[in-house]
Amino acid sequence: MAGIEKRLEAYRNRFRLDGKVALVLGAASGIGKAAAESLAALGATVICADKNKAGVENTAAEIAATGRTESHVVDASDAEAIHALAATIDSKHNRLDVAVSTPAVHVRKLMLDYTDEEYDRVVDLNLRGTFLFLRAFGRIMVRQRSGSLIASSSVRATTLEPGLAIYGATKAGIIQMVRGLASEVGPFGVRVNAIVPSIVDTALVAPLKARPEIWSKLASHTVFNRWARPDEVAAAVSFLASDAASYITGTALLVDGGWTTIDGAPSGLTETHRG
């Protein structure tokens, strides 16, 4: 029995993050905040970073009781700020086991009506910001020959509606960057993956709750007929961060409630018919 007990314990431990150092960029709210909480709950020291000073400090304070944590005010689209954060982490912690990036912006507007400024704003944060993140923290992980990088894409990388072309293009680009980097850093023991959520109930979409018809219509695109909770996406982040995902890299992990599985809203049939 000692052998099986030891193996079972090893399975449980693969999901733990004790002794790991994890960075969450975008930790002030939404998926980023939930990811910071989830990683901390599993034992990681969590470095919370965000442009929102009050928000990121609040997240760090809330999870401080679970263990070591700290906060940094960082603009994800600022190359110098990302470089400085990487240098600080490298100097203070001497390693980085997990790095997660969630910041994104979108301008819902028909493509022919986009201004240059709007295009630059969306691409600069979503695509360039992800590149800065992957490059800066990927370098640390390559040097230490281990680590898990997790970027945030969206089902809009493959399914669109009018007004989301530029946002969707950036999210598709993120998946390709993840795949490309995974092929380059795999020999150094570094994994690179993306989470691909559909609709998530966060403070950023609060205005939609004032329009029940739109809220319900979007929910109907999932097989569960509801929006995701941030903690449900954070659980996928923690899985990819852990050794339980040690053979997973270059993957775009769907956390979409079946959005990309079905063609339009479910029919409403609930019975199983047998001939």
Nearby residues of 90 by Cβ (< 8 Å), 6 or more positions away: 96, 140
Segment 223-229 long-range contacts (CB within 8 Å, at least 24 positions apart): 223/257, 223/258, 223/261, 223/262, 223/266, 224/257, 224/258, 225/266, 226/257, 227/199, 227/200, 227/201, 228/197, 228/198, 228/199, 228/200, 228/201, 228/255, 228/256, 228/257, 229/34, 229/200, 229/201
Segment 126-132 long-range contacts (CB within 8 Å, at least 24 positions apart): 126/167, 126/170, 126/171, 126/174, 127/170, 127/173, 127/174, 127/177, 128/77, 129/76, 129/77, 129/101, 129/103, 130/101, 130/174, 130/177, 131/177, 132/76, 132/77, 132/79, 132/82
Please give the Cα distance from 174 to 164 (Å, whole number).
15
Is 167 annotated in the active site? yes
| Selected catalytic residue, list 11, 114, 167, 247 | 167
Query: H-helix or E-strand containing 144?
Result: helix 129-144
Active-site residue numbers? 167
